[in-house]
Amino acid sequence: KISRISLSSSTPRDVLQALSTVGFIHLELDGTNISQADVDRAFELSRLVYSVPHEQRQRFWKDKAGNGYFRLQNSLDERTTKPDLKETFTWGRYQACQGQSATSQQLPSSIEHCRTEMIDFDEKCFEASLRVLDILSEAFEASQLPYFRSTHKDSGSSALSFLNYPPPHEPPADDDVRAGSHKDWGDITLLFQEQHGQAGLQVYLPSPTVNKQTGIQLVQGDLDLESGSWISAPNIPGTVLVNVGLTLEGMTDGLCKATVHRVIFPPTECPRTRRSIAYFSTPSHDIIMNPVKPGGITVNTPRAPSVENFFRERMRL
């Protein structure tokens, strides 16, 4: 079961317990600085983003920073080459190391007037993610800096992604999925699901034996995806899903779990458009991934990679 957590009333121990077992939480918006009205408006922006004609989108295709429109040609599931049935528009990354303090990303003319609102929601998500990391720092008794917040020198490594899952042109096959099984790469992800939108997000719970493993589980191939179980992660009004990514798993020596998840076609519903919005919180790329342990103990590991090198190594797998 995915726990419901409040930044106002839940304890740091509650948060750590949830993120070290299931790896997902339903976080109440109250206390995050994000309102339900903010989320509803963000989904209106998502509709505008995907109302841009396809031929115009080509001029705003994903750039070197990872911003822009993008449609997967393969799957997030590393075990298959069958493409996922989704598209993405990513916003907000910039390179602070080159003197940038905000994204210079261009937008189609039809949505340029939304720039200020996109910046505002992106900034609110950044602050909300830091608040989650702050309570996690308290759980590790590493709150003097606070530790996990200090790994974010700026918001340039993080990104806001508008995810669109259009209905298929023909009935999906049994093995068709909207997003293949995968783990996220950053430290935490905020995932907003559209109210009254189509369900389909599932979280994989390994068997207890596998779940007790420590260290970084880099690929889903490291896990037995047969003996565990898939559970639904529904939209709960007034909350946002938060899940652990591989970076946080590594920086907690595997205590916080980056859990495999996927998006399927609900077997009891006719396929229709599904929308979600993900904020991928990622530490600054020059941060060294020395793990922190409960008690606030940081282990200086000679071979600990930087976040940037960790991602590069991950791309090689």
Q: Is the pLDDT of residue 27 over 90?
A: yes
Distance, CA of 79 to CA of 82 (rounded, Å): 9
Domain 3-209+220-315 fold is Jelly Rolls (2.60.120)
The SS3 assignment for 153 reads coil
Looking at per-residue pLDDT, the higher value among 249 and 99 belongs to 249
Summarize the confidence of residues 226-238 as an average pLDDT.
Answer: 91
Distance, CA of 215 to CA of 73 (rounded, Å): 31
Task: Please give the pLDDT value at position 316.
Answer: 59
Q: Is the pLDDT of residue 221 over 60?
A: no
- What percent of the chain stands above pLDDT 90? 74
Closest residue by Cα to residue 4 from 247, 258, 233, 277: 233
Lowest mean pLDDT of 77-86, 99-108, 159-168, 231-240, name the range.
77-86
Quick: pLDDT tens for 256-266.
999 999 999 99
Task: Please give the pLDDT value at position 93.
Answer: 94
Quick: pLDDT tens for 242-281.
999 999 999 999 999 999 999 999 988 899 999 999 999 9
Quick: pLDDT tens for 185-207.
999 999 999 999 999 999 999 87
Task: Please give the pLDDT value at position 227.
Answer: 75
Q: What is the DSSP string of 233-253?
A: ----TTEEEEEE-HHHHHHTT
Task: Please give the pLDDT value at position 218.
Answer: 45
Q: Is the pLDDT of residue 224 over 70?
A: no
Summarize the confidence of residues 223-227 as an average pLDDT.
Answer: 69
Q: Is the pLDDT of residue 89 over 90?
A: yes
